[in-house]
Chains A and B, each alone.
Chain A
Amino acid sequence: MTTVLQRPQIKIPATDRRVRRERRLTWIARHSIAIVLAIMFLTPVVYLVLLSVMTSQQALTSDYWPNSWHFENYVRVFQVTPLPRYLLNTVIYAVAATGFMLLSSVPAAYALAKLKFRGRNALFLTVICMMMLPPQVVTVPLYLMWAGYGLTGSLTPLIVPMLFGDAFCIFLMRQFLLTIPTDYLDAARVDGCGEWRTLIRVVLPMARPGIAAAGLFQFFYAWNDYYGPLLYTSENESSWTLSLGLASFHGVHHVDWNLVTAATVLAMIPIVVVFFFAQKAFVQGVTLTGVKG
């Protein structure tokens, strides 16, 4: 994170005392604001965690501090709700979607960034339009298509399309591949590498940060997705993902707010863990999408 976002220091000579005092005051003011904001940003998660270890009776009150700590709620939620099923479905969806997306989208992004062919601009514009298209526009025809094959009620309609490229990930990886100097590719071609070998031997190792960012985005997108599973799996509870399950818990386990919040916290944990392992690739990816505006 630090290498990407390093601040250059401005040097203004500070000799007189008044200036120095003023500066110390702004230092304190800025850091105080930052601390207050940080507390506000952390509050929702802290409150959820506190709620999740209360008894179900206390969770209904206006208390925010647990009278006694019930960490066993995190075990109970696995026993009394279909959480294991949801978790398994979510992992299947996220892993398969990410793997399939990489297989189909890395070559496409490479072609759009580094190969010259007729219709390349038109293809790129189409990818941008797909990326910007609200998913609800094509929802009904796609649903009818999958229903025609009898595949609604499963995660198949969400996973299979990833074999045919994801617009956002293609865009992101293309932007990254543009930054790789073409000289390296020419050198490989002169050495007699075909395009596929150039991609695998030369480009892939250099493009690892861009590919990692796209993979992470896709993983998080699938993990967090609510619209897709709602559309295709709501008719069949055994295919529900975590997001869909969480949104319906409230009705099924109406009074057990402590269990609902425990499940909610559990849905957030993998995201936080993955983020801390891959912070740098992630921040690079986010900046890549917007900074070149």
Chain B
Amino acid sequence: MRLRRNLTTLSFVAPLLIGIAVFFLYPLVSAVYFSFTKFDLLTVPQWVGLENYKRMADDPFLLQSVRNTLWMVAVFVPVRIISAIGLSMLLSQLKRGAGVFRTIFYLPALAPPVAATIAFVYLLKPGTGPVDTLLSHLGIDGPLWFNSPDWSKPSLVLLGLWGIGDIMIIFLAAVLGVPVSLYEAAALDGANAWHRFRYVTLPTIRPVILFATITGVIYTLQYFDQAAVAGSIASGQAVTGGGISTAFGFPEGSTFTYPLWLYTVGFRYNALGYANAMAVVLFVVALAVTVILLRRSKAFSGEEQ
């Protein structure tokens, strides 16, 4: 009887167990092993000990990609969260057309990242693009956007704000879930709108802010598509032939995020051992962030609620 029940349970999770072994544990262990070796697609891995890790410390390109990703974590994540809270507060207070506005603000989040990036590269085309044209009417000299090392990452942030819909919906549900009685009590105490937001809304939605911060950091750690496409389209070249664009990172490496540089090292320069050392470092960082999430958030603990 007991055995039978165990077999039934096993039949439900067997594919998942195989998946974990083959597509998660095996490559993870291999990555750690490969990180101590040196090889490319044509040679056999050769043990080099800690050499890959030592090399990382003074690789200027690697350090640039770390700086780029840290910049994204420091700017992209908070800007997206603050904007999403603002947008969801606005939506929650609209009395007419809230549904229509909600759909308009949400939909861009579903656009294919490649399509959205192409749209923004065209929109922000230096000089002749509609945004720079508009700015010149106002007497402002528009920046070079995706073609300037200083403006390429802020342009990616703008693109990210356009696709803010998913976290906006999560915040909207949280804001609407704040008990009305709290607002009424605060209003009776003479609290103005700002006070109601600061002392009622904000404390209540704090767990959601934490969730959005951590998942935002995880998302930024693997930020790849938009950075890759923006670089290659803005440079006027494209992913051709072998598939690895020489234009990734354009301009001047300013859009080389850590995962994008990892990919370039592995599949363009064929330094597969070194790429795996980068992967192990990325894994350790992502794991640390995940542990924080697991400790702070109820939804992710295995216990039944």
Residues of chain A within 8 A of B97, CB atoms compared: 31, 34
A15 to chain B minimum Cβ distance, whole angstroms, is 15
Cβ–Cβ contact B208 & A293, under 8 A: yes
The stretch among A72-80, A125-133, A207-215 that forms the contact with chain B is A125-133
Rounded to whole angstroms, the CA-CA distance of A45 and B120 in the bound complex is 10
Rounded to whole angstroms, the CA-CA distance of A128 and B266 in the bound complex is 27
Chain B residue at minimal CB-CB distance from A164: B19
Cβ–Cβ contact A47 & B123, under 8 A: yes
A89 at the interface (CB under 8 A from B): no
Rounded to whole angstroms, the CA-CA distance of A48 and B108 in the bound complex is 13
Rounded to whole angstroms, the CA-CA distance of A1 and B104 in the bound complex is 13
Residues of chain A within 8 A of B16, CB atoms compared: 104-105, 108, 123, 127, 164-165, 170
B144 at the interface (CB under 8 A from A): no
B36 at the interface (CB under 8 A from A): no
Residues of chain B within 8 A of A249, CB atoms compared: 238
B34 at the interface (CB under 8 A from A): yes
Give the interface SS of chain B, mostly helix, strand, loop or mixed.
Answer: helix
Contacting residues of chain B (244-289) with chain A, CB-CB under 8 angstroms: 244, 259, 262-263, 266-267, 272, 275-276, 279-280, 282-283, 286-287, 289
Chain B residue at minimal CB-CB distance from A243: B114
A228 to chain B minimum Cβ distance, whole angstroms, is 10
A187 at the interface (CB under 8 A from B): no
Q: 25 pairs across A/B with beta carbons < 8 Å? A: A12-B184, A12-B187, A27-B95, A33-B90, A34-B91, A38-B104, A127-B16, A129-B290, A130-B20, A134-B286, A137-B282, A141-B26, A142-B23, A163-B15, A164-B16, A178-B305, A230-B228, A231-B263, A249-B238, A252-B238, A254-B236, A268-B112, A271-B111, A272-B110, A287-B169
Residues of A within 8 A of B (CB): 1-2, 4-10, 12, 27, 30-31, 33-34, 37-38, 41-45, 47-48, 51, 61-62, 64, 104-105, 107-108, 110-112, 115, 117, 120-130, 132-145, 147, 161, 163-165, 170, 175, 178, 194-196, 199, 220, 223-224, 226-227, 230-231, 233-235, 242-244, 246-252, 254, 257, 260-261, 264, 267-268, 271-272, 275, 279, 283, 286-287, 289-293
